[in-house]
Homo-oligomer: A and B are copies of this chain.
Amino acid sequence: MQYPSQIIENSVNELSRFPGIGKKTALRLVLHLIKQEPVIITNLAAAISALHEKLNFCKQCGNVSDLDLCGICSDENRSDTILCVVEDLRDVMAIESTAQFKGKYHILSGLISPMDGIGPENLRIAELEERLLKSKPEEIILALSATIEGDTTAFYLNRKLAAFGLKVSTLSKGIAIGGELEYADEITLGRALLQRIPYGV
């Protein structure tokens, strides 16, 4: 494509590095931006710069944090006996919003995915083992997505963690609450039948 200006072309190229954003969408976003007040553009550029210049990660769990130890890791009301292993901070936010978990987290920063060239050595698994040696929780919850990558990572972690002799659990699978049976996919429904639980629990 022939862009009318090098500045437009640069912005399109940079924005189209995002996953799911191609050149056409990037051009649409750039055209939107140049119609905005200058302050909007400046704020966006500053917010993006800050991601590189000011962002800090929790030394313990790997979550994004303004301090060396994040709010969850330094919270004395949260238990150290149960550790929830998740893919990234979106999962921490999702689990936190349930208000059902009072332990601590460990962020893997991804899932094992050979197709994308991501192996166990690219994840924060060494940090997890180091942490287990120090804090010795009773239980680890592998709260990973119910996808091939999530299952692979859970399988790998379960074997890796066997040496520590702690309880390893995972999230229950089944039909969604509020979901209608006829719209549940057959694999989920089959799993929900196999793993049925006593009524009233």
Contacts and interface: CB of A to CB of B under 8 A. Distances in A.
Interface in A1-35: 1-8, 10-11, 13-15, 17-19, 27-35
A38 interface: yes
Contacts of A40: 14, 17
B47 A11 contact: yes
A43 interface: yes
Interface residues of A, number: 57
Nearest to A56: B5
Nearest to A72: B4
A96 interface: yes
Contact of A45 (B6, B27, B49, B88): B49
Interface in A36-61: 36, 38, 40-52, 54-56
Contacts of A65: 4-5
B51 A34 contact: yes
Given A97-B2, A109-B35, A27 B90 contact: yes
B42 A52 contact: yes
A2 B97 CA distance: 8
A157 interface: no
Pick the most buried of A2, A5, A50: most chain B CB atoms within 10 A of its CB: A5
A4 B51 CA distance: 13
A5 B66 contact: yes
A70 interface: yes
B1 A50 contact: no
14 contacts: A2-B97, A4-B65, A4-B71, A4-B92, A6-B66, A7-B54, A8-B55, A8-B89, A17-B44, A19-B28, A31-B89, A38-B52, A44-B48, A45-B46
Interface of A: 1-8, 10-11, 13-15, 17-19, 27-36, 38, 40-52, 54-56, 63-66, 70-71, 88-90, 92-93, 96-97, 109
